[in-house]
Structure 1
Amino acid sequence: MRIRKLLVSVVGVAIALTAAAVPASSSVAIVGGTKASTTDYPFAVFLTTPDNFQFCGGTLVAPDKVVTAAHCAKGQQPEGVFVVAGRDDKQATTTGVSVPVKNIWVHPRYTDALVGEDVAVLTLAKRVGYRTIPLATEQDEVLYEPETPATILGWGRTASGGVTSQYLLKATVPVVSDQDCKQSFAKYNPAAMVCAGYPQGGIDGCQGDSGGPMVAGGKLIGVSSWGEGCGLPNKPGVYTRVVAYAKELAQQIKPTPVP
């Protein structure tokens, strides 16, 4: 496997090392996607450095809480991360909002995306007025059934090794059975992960999409995590299985008291 999807682009030494250590990719962008709008998907956000370099995606799950991938957040300091919401075009800096992060929670058991626990929560310095999306819970296991259509969103690369997208893109991919995903990836762990994609490939996340949402049934069911290449046959994207961490995430996204 070559590094494809630790869906991150490179932000500092910490993230560069994280991606390099993973033989699957850490940066995922939407391959085979179409333009989307934050008007329709207001919960889709992206993460930047203070100088506006976009390196990951995220999902607004409360007015001041964003779920993303642990490999996007581990080693980062809050003052080095901003969350951009309501902006379709990354270059349209007068639209939407860019909000500083004041706290970063990385799953305490996270060591490597290929092992699991690839999930983190960012607490924003202020609340934003965009619509959020609920997390999948134990009552939503049906959303993980094979062939369930899921929407993935991101601003990442549109081809492996290509340039990142200037605009928010979306694609629909079917959930892949755990058995088939295990055949594609020996390290696949169904207790922590879920796969989605087409046998023939062609539509997938890619570098830069890491941390972004996988949505089905109006719920956040996955977080873009890793994969091999972008859009390759029989190599679906691998996403953090949100339902596996529902209780821990619920604790992290409890409303922050208003001063």
Structure 2
Amino acid sequence: MAAPLHRLRSWLGAALAAATLSMACVSVAEAAPVPTADGDFGTQVVGGTRASTAEYPWVVYLATSSGSQYCGGTLVAPDKVVTAAHCTVGDSPSVVRVVAGRDDKNSSAGTVARVTKIWIHPSYRDVTRGYDVSVLTLDRNLSQTPLPFATSADSALYAAGTSSTILGWGRTSSGGSASRYLLKATVPLTSSSSCSSSYGGSFNATHMVCAGYPQGGTDTCQGDSGGPLVAGGKLIGITSWGQGCASAGYPGVYARVSAYAAQIQAQL
């Protein structure tokens, strides 16, 4: 039986998955990814509501040099952003911008920073193998307050049923355009056994954590990759992949930040 089609949560992931009908390592040659008009995918932070960077100052988005948003990220130090490896693999720092303090992508609010260095976990190959984590170094210190990230001491934050927050600027309808505004939603963490039942061998509890309702309806989606999964006032996950978006029985899959805390700290 054919394996289910896993959806990357970045714009490039959507285009690539549509082209290949299989999970693949995302790579970009000479340029950052650009949004597509692919009609095969579901909605935004599905079930989300408007959010403000005044309340969540550490949430940022990644954009091309021309300003097109394609992934999310989290400020963890004044000049450091954590995002997904599949958002940055193959990119040159010169083509990536980080936008902070901007709720409305059509506005000029906030700060646009350039990227001077991209670190990708050396073990990253594709999202179903884990290690989907990247750290960007910015060309300046941002004024926004960074978010602490989970470490090995924060195992309690990963308990099944823990209420968590997801944020992003992803798709707003199946086959539609991205959200103009920052959106948020609340989802419970699922147990590792439940997520393994959904995804089989593609889920690795050491490197991943899942979040969502059994009936679906609330989730991250294309354009949200790299964005935060937050619980207990800390970054506990990085939006990574999933089967569809907000589909019943298929929660969103996030990189488990505590598993990479030492490597992230080394980049700070």
TM over 0.5: yes
Q: 2: CA distance between counterparts of 1:77 and 1:175?
A: 34
Could you tell me which residue of structure 2 aligns to residue 137 of structure 1?
A: 151
Q: 2: CA distance between counterparts of 1:250 and 1:19?
A: 35
Q: 2: CA distance between counterparts of 1:107 and 1:8?
A: 18
Aligned length: 248
1:252 is aligned with what amino acid? Q
Question: By how many angstroms is 1:7 displaced?
Answer: 1.2
Identity, % of aligned positions: 54
Could you tell me which residue of structure 1 aligns to residue 10 of structure 2?
A: 8
Is residue 160–residue 230 contact of structure 1 (8 Å, CA) maintained in 2? no
Could you tell me which residue of structure 2 aligns to residue 63 of structure 1?
A: 78
Is residue 33–residue 170 contact of structure 1 (8 Å, CA) maintained in 2? yes
1:231 equivalent among 246, 254, 268: 246
Q: 2: CA distance between counterparts of 1:21 and 1:66?
A: 30
Q: List runs of 5+ in structure 2 lacking aligned partners.
A: 27-40
2:220 is aligned with what amino acid? G
Q: 1:74 to 1:139 in 2, by over 3 A?
A: same
Question: By how many angstroms is 1:161 displaced?
Answer: 3.0
Could you tell me which residue of structure 2 aligns to residue 241 of structure 1?
A: 256
2:205 equivalent among 190, 194, 213: 190
2:136 is aligned with what amino acid? L
Could you tell me which residue of structure 2 aligns to residue 205 of structure 1?
A: 220
Is residue 32–residue 158 contact of structure 1 (8 Å, CA) maintained in 2? no
Q: 2: CA distance between counterparts of 1:29 and 1:139?
A: 32
1:166 aligns with 2:174: no
Q: 1: CA distance between counterparts of 2:146 and 2:20?
A: 33
Q: 2: CA distance between counterparts of 1:79 and 1:116?
A: 26
Is residue 3–residue 19 contact of structure 1 (8 Å, CA) maintained in 2? no
1:81 aligns with 2:107: no
Q: 2: CA distance between counterparts of 1:137 and 1:160?
A: 36
Could you tell me which residue of structure 2 aligns to residue 257 of structure 1?
A: none
Is residue 17–residue 23 contact of structure 2 (8 Å, CA) maintained in 1? no
Q: Report the TM-score when normalising by structure 2.
A: 0.88
- Secondary structure of the residue aligned to 2:210 is strand
Of residues 39-48 and 154-163 in structure 1, the stretch that sits farther from structure 2 once superposed is: 154-163
1:147 equivalent among 150, 161, 168: 161
